Structure 1
Amino acid sequence: MEHRGEAQVPLVLLATSREWAGGEPGHAALDAALSAHGLASRWVVWDDLGVDWGTAEVVAVRSTWDYDGRLGEFLGWASGVGPALLNGAAVFRWNTDKRYLIDLQKAGLPIVPTVSADTVFDVRAAADGFGLAVVKPRVGAGGRGLEVVADGKVWLPKPGGHPGPWVVQPLVESIHHDGEISVFVIAGRPVSQVQKMPSRTDIRVNEQYGGTAHSMELTEKAASLAASAVATVVDLLGEEIVYGRVDMMRYQDRLVVSEVELTEPGLYLDVLPLNALPFAEVVAARAYPRTW
């Protein structure tokens, strides 16, 4: 705990990357919400060797959006943080490899059909089976390395592209007119929803590729699917999921899960600043020691 005069104030460390050293977009809302709960919080870069993670009552991974090129180092760091880390290293190890979607598919959750591909020939076979397909790095963040494949029979990685392994999925046509829906689930409860749209020249909804996001009313179907997705993860892993974001799309006339972001899910605080309130509440519940 940090000392402010005679008072001891629980410390929350919010892990980020060097590119986002000041915090994720809209972080001021989260900073204020944590302060309103009487918590001291700091944004710290996850690979900064000068950070003493053991001083924090809670460590929350937020904008560590550079982990995909250094996964072993990132998971090693997470393992070393210990029980103060929300969601935790075991969840991150599972969630940072997009093969987790196949686990969810086998568990009966509706997802975008996903095939894991270790070789170029695996990619070609899967993409040819889907027709118009999307190839993504199995470990990837921010839409980096995604390719749209029109003819799987002749596919090769682009020069300088991702060397694999990959996942292969059908291109979901609704992305062009419906975009992607994200539901934020905190302490097992869906709390809010955004719609993300790609630009006219890309299928990625990420801002750096021209994507946009806006808040929308939390719908019953989306909330139900998001809650089911998180509950399925809990059943599979036997781990507590404190917070996450469930991305979904409309495929063959129903909502299906496209991602379950449990490692470093952006809270879209610049679009939904009220997301800071339930997030701060769940952090505070873990930061203050129980006396009963």
Structure 2
Amino acid sequence: MIALALPASTSQDGVFHAPTLEDLHLPEILPWGAEYGTGFGKQMLLILISVALIAWFFIASSKKGKLVPGKFQFLGESAYSFIRNGVAKDVIGEREFKRFVPILVTFFFFILVNNLFGSIPLLQLPTTSHVGTAYALAGIVYLYWIYLGFQRHGGKFFKVMTVPSGVPKAILPLIIVIEIISNFFVRPITHSLRLFATMLSGHLIIALSAAGTSYLLFEGEGLMKGLGVLTLAGGVGMYLFEILIQVLQAYVFVLLTAIYIQGSISDAH
């Protein structure tokens, strides 16, 4: 981790230079449309790799299903059951949860793998630290949530989501405005930015710790080298903490998705 951060932390004049977003988001592998900043980059490559890895894992773990599962089959079944029972069934309810299990499992493991890419040496890029990825994921949830609401309630879906039961008529207009802003505007933004901001900030903190450590150890003298050891220890601690955050953010995203689905198909707001 330190070696990879060294070019971003020092220069020929021996002055510390903090890592920037350009250091974290590497140049495109196959650039096109340079004026728009588009192209096939490391992020897109990792997304394709994540899809292949997840598909392989679940196909391989279920290919030779046995009544008494082996270790690999048990791992696959446990991973699936964690979302099926711990999220879909508990949040959406036993009567209707089954049809939503596939999309929740897909979201969780897609986000989890792409988050964990940020902690794998040489890869070191959580693709969800790009805001476009987070927007796309939250946008899918948002459209699916609206689709389910109109499928269940028809034209009454808007009323279900904006008119809470038991609210006094005197303040009902104000509550409706708040509910419209909260559910139809703030919800998709916070759903995406929560994932994006957490992954980007964590990735930046790790890069900053590595850059500072490499500068202190290789450029500093005396006490400065000792401080480099402390920043190294702190960086390792932050690295392990970031792995925990990467797992939690995948879980939080899927938990909120299940809550939104439950709200769209329920009879009361």
Q: Give the helix-richer structure, 1 or 2.
A: 2
Structure holding more strand per residue: 1
- If the length of structure 1 is used for normalisation, what is the TM-score? 0.30
Larger Rg: 2
Give the TM-score normalised by the residue count of structure 2. 0.32
Q: Say which structure, 1 or 2, has more relative contact order (CA 8 Å, 6+ apart).
A: 2
